[in-house]
């Protein structure tokens, strides 16, 4: 268990310096940051799961962290939920892909150490930020809905020291990896729910992700 915690701590040293980017939106009018809506593949099917590494080359994406994430705001609490599916994170810029990939691989490597955890579960990075004042948080109240099925987390692994306090203070960032059933596929659509608030932000993210996947598969010969 201590060895697994040491791996995660080392990864956080890579992730935390870039935390300021987690809640910054890329300009929607920047053609270099967001592929245009008319790009080939913008209306295609999202590539996820085990086939993604064979079709999408790594280290050549252009999207920012926020462009592949779902945002939910509840009062002063701002939540960013990022699917750690390889087909999605490979569309992100190289440094972002490396950090997210390392977190997912670390979880899968140590999953057998935690009861109820499974290396095949669908993984998501949940990041929390308080806007102006401290906000309380109930980790188990995060849910994802896909194709009418509501999924609750099967396992939650806190990444930051303050996660267990169930509170986020201003200028702080708390993060955890959430594991959901392996049947939850971002390609089937996602809605993020926290208590009485629901976000359908994923629908806004899909066109850019689809377009970037198409570009990368064309570049890689897929």
Q: Please list the pLDDT of the chain residue by residue as tens digits (222 residues).
A: 444 444 444 444 444 444 444 444 433 434 344 444 333 334 479 999 988 999 999 999 999 999 999 999 999 999 999 999 999 999 999 999 999 999 999 999 988 877 877 888 999 999 999 988 999 999 999 999 999 999 999 999 999 999 999 999 998 999 999 999 999 999 999 999 999 999 999 999 999 999 999 999 997 554
Q: How many domains does the chain have?
A: 1
The reported pLDDT for the residue numbered 141 is: 97
Note every long-range contact of 17-23, with CB atoms under 8 Å and residues 24 or more positions apart, other chains counting: 18/65, 18/95, 18/96, 18/99, 19/127, 19/173, 21/64, 21/65, 21/66, 21/96, 22/65, 22/66, 22/69, 22/80, 22/127, 22/129, 22/173, 23/66, 23/78, 23/80, 23/127, 23/129
Q: What is the pLDDT of residue 117?
A: 79
Of 90, 172, 86, the C-alpha closest to 134 is: 172
Provide the pLDDT for residue 171: 84
Beta sheet of 155-158, edge-to-edge order:
70-74, 77-83, 122-130, 173-180, 155-158
Whole-number pLDDT of residue 35 = 41
**Cα–Cα dist 188/4, whole Å:** 32
First to last CA, the chain: 40
Q: Which residues form the domain of 212?
A: 2-220
Q: In the chain, how long is the greatest CA-to-CA distance?
A: 49
User: Of 5, 131, 29, which Cα lies nearest the Cα of 80?
Assistant: 131
pLDDT digits over 38-65, tens only? Answer: 333 344 799 999 889 999 999 999 999 9
Alpha carbon 133 to chain centroid, angstroms: 25
**Looking at residue 220, what is its pLDDT?**
57
């Amino acid at each position: 268990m201590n060895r697994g915690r040491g791996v995660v701590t080392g990864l956080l040293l890579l992730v935390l310096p870039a935390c300021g980017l987690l809640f910054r939106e890329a300009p929607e009018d920047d053609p270099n940051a967001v592929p245009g809506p008319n790009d080939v593949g913008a209306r295609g099917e999202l590539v996820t799961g085990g086939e993604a590494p064979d079709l999408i080359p790594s280290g050549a994406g252009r999207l920012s962290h926020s462009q592949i994430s779902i945002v939910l705001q509840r009062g002063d609490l701002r939540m960013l939920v990022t699917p750690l599916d390889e087909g999605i994170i490979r569309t992100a810029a190289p440094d972002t892909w490396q950090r997210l990939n390392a977190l997912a691989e670390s979880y899968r490597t140590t999953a057998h150490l935690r009861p109820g955890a499974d290396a095949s579960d669908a993984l998501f990075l949940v990041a929390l930020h308080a806007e102006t004042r401290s906000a309380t948080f109930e980790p188990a109240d995060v849910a994802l809905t896909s194709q009418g099925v509501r999924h609750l987390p099967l396992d939650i692994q806190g990444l930051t020291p303050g996660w267990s306090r169930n509170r986020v203070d201003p200028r702080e960032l708390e993060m955890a990896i959430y594991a959901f059933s392996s049947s939850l596929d971002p390609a089937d659509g996602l809605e993020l729910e926290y208590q009485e608030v629901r976000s359908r932000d994923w629908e806004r993210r899909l066109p850019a992700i689809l377009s970037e996947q198409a570009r990368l598969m064309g570049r890689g010969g897929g």
